[in-house]
Amino acid sequence: MLFRFRSLLVFLSSGCIILACASSDTAMVPDVQDIGDVETAPEVSPPDTANPDIPEQETGPTIPDGVATDQETTACVPDCAGKECGDDGCGQSCGGCEEPRLCVDGECQCAHPNQIGDACDACAPGYIGANCDEMCTMTGFAVGEAEAWQDSELNEARYQAFSAASFPREMLAMHIYSGSPRFGPSETGVYELTGSTFADCGLCLMAESDCHDFLCLNCDSHFFADEGRVHITSFWGDDGVFSATFEGVVFREVSIDMETHDSAVIPGGMTWCMDGFTFTCTNGLCAVEP
């Protein structure tokens, strides 16, 4: 009995020694789970680009070949073909216009469409007024017969034309009083028709309509030119030629005092425009176009 007890003590003592040695010399290793017991993570697949729930990435517009990009700039080519003024398409000018002309659709034009001349100071045929926006009542003069004469003693020269040989007819006349007190033209040149009446004009242009006698005393309407200019191109030289051209000439209906010969424009009366009228006479015989 005593022997068994001692043997047990020896056995227990040996076990304690083994345990003590194990705890001091050997690190404690935790239990390792069997690899077969570890759950693996689920597989992750890339997104399906065809899935309508996933928005497509914007890639931007396709740039055709030959079109400039931000890194590529096309040079601007100026275009002034057929232009005398205005923009050249590249921010520069094709030229300017001298006053009073304005640039309209690449052309230098007068401010009003019926104005003509380099200085826009004349009206197109058939138009009158400050802005050339009034139409003439009558235009031109068709010559049926004409004559001219000169009186050197009185310093006078005259041209007179009729629209026909029979009545009623129209009459056109240009009278020049070169001497005192009117001092009209005595040589070739360009002369203005402003600031005068029938009573004091040195260069007088008159017209009559619907005349019923040779002396034009019985005419329905009387006209006096107070606008425009006359180009006297030949003034009874050695060759006997007397010629002139009307430029922008406007006759206005007037009343004439037969005692004083003063003329007064009738308000709202008729106008008769004869721009471009020309005559040429040699020794009193005047050419008449057929």
* pLDDT tens, position by position, 168-217: 999 999 999 999 999 999 999 999 998 788 889 999 999 999 999 888 88
Residue 147, SS3 per DSSP = strand
Domain count, the chain: 1
* Cα(153)–Cα(118) distance, integer angstroms: 41
Q: Is 183 contained in some domain?
A: yes
Q: Is 58 contained in some domain?
A: no
> What's the pLDDT at 60?
55
Structural domain of 200: 138-286
Task: Say if residue 158 is exposed, middle or buried (CB neighbours under 10 Å; 0-12, 13-18, 19+).
Answer: middle
CA atoms in the 13 A half-sphere facing the CB of 240: 8
Q: Is 66 contained in some domain?
A: no
Q: Is 51 contained in some domain?
A: no
> What's the pLDDT at 10?
42
> What's the pLDDT at 5?
43
Q: What is the largest CA-CA distance in the chain?
A: 196
> What's the pLDDT at 16?
40
CA atoms in the 13 A half-sphere facing the CB of 223: 28
Q: Is 188 contained in some domain?
A: yes
Q: Is 246 contained in some domain?
A: yes
> What's the pLDDT at 224?
96
Characterize 19-33 residue by residue with b for buried, 16 or more Cβ atoms within 10 angstroms of its Cβ, and e for exposed: eeeeeeeeeeeeeee
> What's the pLDDT at 47?
56
> What's the pLDDT at 29?
44
Q: Is 82 contained in some domain?
A: no
> What's the pLDDT at 113?
87
Low-confidence ranges of the chain (pLDDT < 50): 1-30, 32-33, 35-36, 38
> What's the pLDDT at 21?
37
Q: Is 20 contained in some domain?
A: no
The three-point CA angle 121-131-200 to 5° equals: 65
Q: CA 105 from chain center: how many Å?
A: 4
Pairing of strands 138-139, 271-273: parallel
For the whole model, what pTM was predicted?
A: 0.63
> What's the pLDDT at 22?
40
